[in-house]
Homo-oligomer: A and B are copies of this chain.
Amino acid sequence: MEELIEKIKSSQSLSQEAEDYLYSISTNKTFAKGEILIRQGQRVKNIYFVTDGCLRSYCYDKNGKEHTLQFAIKKWWISDYIAIHSDESATLTVECLKESKVIEFKAKDLELMLTLFPDFERFQRKILERHVVSLNKRILNQLQLTASERYDLFVEQYPAIEQYTHNYHIASYLGVTQESLSRIRVEKVKH
């Protein structure tokens, strides 16, 4: 929990009352590799802040193929925001790629906290702004970069992630086939 408090305080003030409230609505959990936190089609109630490990959100298309929306490592948030903000059932599945420690929050408790504590609302607004920036960049990269250039950016953004991800996790994030990703990796090793 200290990681989250520290993260908030690094950008702005947080009253003791807000800090106590945040503690009171948080639950520390540890999930084993392969465990599912959110399952496509079910109701989504929780939002997770990762303190250690790595999680992945993805969906299955109509042919059963997986498409990865996000990886979440230490100090990242993960949930199915489409479901939470649209009040729909989950479009995404969130799974643990290695044993992970997370702080679990009920989305409705966090929402209440936003209305009670303006400092926390500001923090949340700034997180959302950065999230919009990163999603905009991802869309532009998907449109304009080659698969090899997107792979370079991915490795830069998640330096250690290849230790505990399968080939298809990364391929399905980059939007390429596993064969293309293998070719790209072979080329990188050669040069």
Residues of chain A having any CB pair with chain B under 8 Å: 59, 61, 65, 67-69, 81-82, 85-86, 91, 114-115, 118, 121-122, 124-125, 128-133, 135-140, 142-145, 172, 175
Helix, strand, loop or mixed for chain A's interface? Answer: helix
**Which residues of B lie under 8 Å from residue A144 when comparing CB positions?**
59, 61, 65, 67
Distance of A138 Cα from B140 Cα, bound (Å): 11
The residue that A135 contacts in the complex, of B61, B135, B175, with Cβ under 8 A, is: B135
User: Are A143 and B85 CB-contacts (below 8 A) given A124-B125, A128-B129?
Assistant: no
Distance of A48 Cα from B133 Cα, bound (Å): 17
In contact, A136 and B65 (Cβ under 8 angstroms): no
**Which residues of B lie under 8 Å from residue A136 when comparing CB positions?**
69, 81-82, 135
In contact, A135 and B132 (Cβ under 8 angstroms): yes
**Which residues of B lie under 8 Å from residue A59 when comparing CB positions?**
140, 144
In contact, A125 and B121 (Cβ under 8 angstroms): yes
In contact, A132 and B133 (Cβ under 8 angstroms): no
In contact, B139 and A135 (Cβ under 8 angstroms): yes
**Which residues of B lie under 8 Å from residue A132 when comparing CB positions?**
81, 85, 128, 131-132, 135
